[in-house]
Amino acid sequence: MGPQPAVIDAAQAAERARVLTSQLRHHNHRYYVLDDPEVSDAAYDALLDELRAIESEHPRLRTPDSPTQRVGGRPLERFEPVRHLQPMLSLANARSEEELAAWVKRITGLLTKAGVEDAAIDYVVEPKIDGLAISLVYERGVLVRGATRGDGEIGEDVTQNLRTIGAVPLAVEGAPDLLEVRGEVYLPLGAFARLNEQRASAGEPTFANPRNSAAGSIRQLDPGLAASRPLSIWCYGIGAVEGLEFETHSQSLEWLSEHGFKVSPGVERHGEIEEVVPACRAWEERRDGLDFEIDGAVVKVDQLELQRRLGVVGREPRGAIAWKFAARTATTTLRSVMWNVGRTGHMVPFANLEPVIVSGVTVKLATLHNEEDLRRKDVREDDEVIIMRAGDVIPAVISPTAAAQRRRRRSAPPQAPAHCPSCGTETVKPEGSVWTICPNRASCPGQLFQAVKHFVSRGAMDIEGLGEERAGLLLRLGLIANVADIYELRPEALTEIEGFGELSARKLVEAIEASKQRPFNRVLFALGIPGIGFVNARALASRFGGVDALISAAADEVVEQTPGIGPVLAATIVETLAEPRTRDLIERLRGHGLAMEEEGSARGSEGALAGRTFVITGTLPTLSREVATERIEAAGGKVTGSVSGRTGYLVAGEDPGTKLAKARAVGTEVIDEERLLELLAGA
């Protein structure tokens, strides 16, 4: 489904834009709020591109709440302060049944003093999200401002960044004239782990925890950076409102959910305080199974009139309290810094700790990410350190304690090993790199094991039954020497291995065969090429369409076409793809039937523009740059961001800038939109 032809009549354009906007809002809600999409990404993008094209032709139809306007605006120089319509209060804490009972006794007494005797109090129990508290202000149903909590009275205007979050509605049908929604922005734990992996691979500082990463993303001055991170939001209440009244807090949550806001499905209402403690404990038991961080449960008096009568003490509402969970962090002693070799030869430091219990689990080892992170944290042997464990995220050393930092240092900072701990090869540290590496990529047992472990993992080829232990066993027995050998395993060979029966051998071979159905972006990620994490793999697969186009790309093309990849990372990707061993591995995997091109990709040898490279500059009369790019690529062409000797055409609109002069200097043919449309038609 591609963009529709240009709309001739203004009334038709307005109606089509209205229909597209409604459809896109519906699909946004299904994807970001309900986690139940109805259409493919390609189908959604086609609708969005069509709306962009209409708005380009009819600029008056481009409104601030349009689905095309989620990411926009120039980077800010600073965030402006904004006063909240109502103070954003904090919560008192309870850490035991006794403290919760004391709170109930206190509020009951206060209500009696206020003349409300024998009040039948209902309670709402909901998760306490460990994220960044924010306020969303809607006027006549349109989002006009988003702000951080700040000191509760004054926060920072981060509207541009909050608009990039798909779960934040830009417009609310049936909203009152004024509506302030309170929520908590967070980064899912899986996304947090992938983000830290990418940052570590790129030599950038890693985030200490999901909350810090969410807060850091929202406080980026460039909204494009915030948009690149998969943030989400849980909405937990309504602040200031005009033209809408509720009797209970639970009714307000139902209204939010019915009007497109993401509200936790686990919120419960209880008529007896005896039911509240088990409900809080149930959230703590569910904690490790969630894909977002919670640090407690919030208990609120449901009746809003009773909340108003209870009032506020200091900065805390008397009608609500937070039941705090066991800490995710703990302090212990760092016995030593040890080193592993990663799948690309990197020396990866990890901490050998004095065993300590963190949220019910004994932790002996924790990650230190990379050498740069180790240097930045400045932890040394025998230091008292802070560690954190969050859900399925590997325990990590956060920092030395303040006491350890004050003490005089007696030990030297830890250094990367001079020889690989796996194969004994002398290590090297390339100039400008944050990694010391083992150069023995072809036969280092540690690198081979990590490469196979990564290849078969759930986010990559997802080969059920081939876990870490079996992968190591197959390598030790010599049945595989690289990931391509996995596809040559046969049941009869496996049954000779202790622990394998005929059934388990057959099931593993069937799982290996089934993995051939994984899409190209998963194969690209599974290859373990330095710098190609899960997110980058999807972006590269989308932009280049297949491995052959990616192999033939220059580093500057990778940078131009793939948001989030810089020159250094692009150079590493291109160099790795150029290595004979990488090419050989790709060809062997291709021969075994693995996908080396995105399904449905039109970037092949067919199409009117096959083999031609375009650069677009300036403002075109009717086509947006996104729509022009999509149509060129759909016809088999390639679009890059800068002019070079390989550029076939420069498509120039108004205000073309310096690219026009460069195109003329290198002899690139300059065309306008009309000529581009002729080329697209095959003329």
Cβ contact 3:50 at 8 Å: yes
Neighbours of 309 (CB within 10 A): 19
Q: What angle do CA 202, 208, 209 make, to 5 degrees?
A: 115
Beta carbons within 8 Å of 369's beta carbon, 6+ residues apart: 196, 200, 206, 348, 349, 396
Q: What angle do CA 277, 281, 287 make, to 5 degrees?
A: 150
* One-letter amino acid of 569: L
Please choose, from the candidates 135, 221, 229, the residue with its C-alpha nearest in 3D space to the C-alpha of residue 184. 135
Beta carbons within 8 Å of 188's beta carbon, 6+ residues apart: 210, 230, 232, 291, 292
The SS3 assignment for 82 reads strand
Beta carbons within 8 Å of 233's beta carbon, 6+ residues apart: 131, 134, 165, 167, 168, 183, 184, 185, 186, 262
Neighbours of 317 (CB within 10 A): 20
Q: What is the DSSP letter of 80?
A: P
Distance CA 540, CA 546 (A): 9
Please choose, from the candidates 376, 378, 389, the residue with its C-alpha nearest in 3D space to the C-alpha of residue 334. 378
Distance CA 432, CA 231 (A): 32
The residue behind tokens 């031609």 is 612
CA-based R_g, the chain, Å = 28
**212, 326, 328, 403 from 357: Cα distances, Å:** 23, 11, 10, 21
Q: What is the DSSP letter of 619?
A: B
Distance CA 311, CA 446 (A): 62
Q: What count of Cα atoms within 13 Å lies in the side-chain half-sphere of residue 327?
A: 8
Strand partners, 82: 155
Distance CA 178, CA 55 (A): 28
Neighbours of 226 (CB within 10 A): 24
3-state secondary structure 116-130: CCCCCCCEEEEEEEC
Cβ contact 380:412 at 8 Å: yes
Please choose, from the candidates 296, 284, 253, 269, the residue with its C-alpha nearest in 3D space to the C-alpha of residue 128. 296
Q: Which two tokens stand for residue 287?
A: 């904690």
Pairing of strands 312-313, 638-640: unpaired
Alpha-carbon 70 to chain mean position: 17
**470, 491, 501, 503, 561 from 507: Cα distances, Å:** 14, 9, 10, 6, 41
Q: Which two tokens stand for residue 375?
A: 């240097």
Known catalytic membership, residue 105:
no
Q: Which two tokens stand for residue 17?
A: 């834009």
105, 113, 128, 662: the catalytic one is: 128
Please choose, from the candidates 65, 66, 205, the residue with its C-alpha nearest in 3D space to the C-alpha of residue 136. 65
Cβ contact 129:234 at 8 Å: yes
Distance CA 626, CA 636 (A): 16
Catalytic residue numbers, as ranges: 128
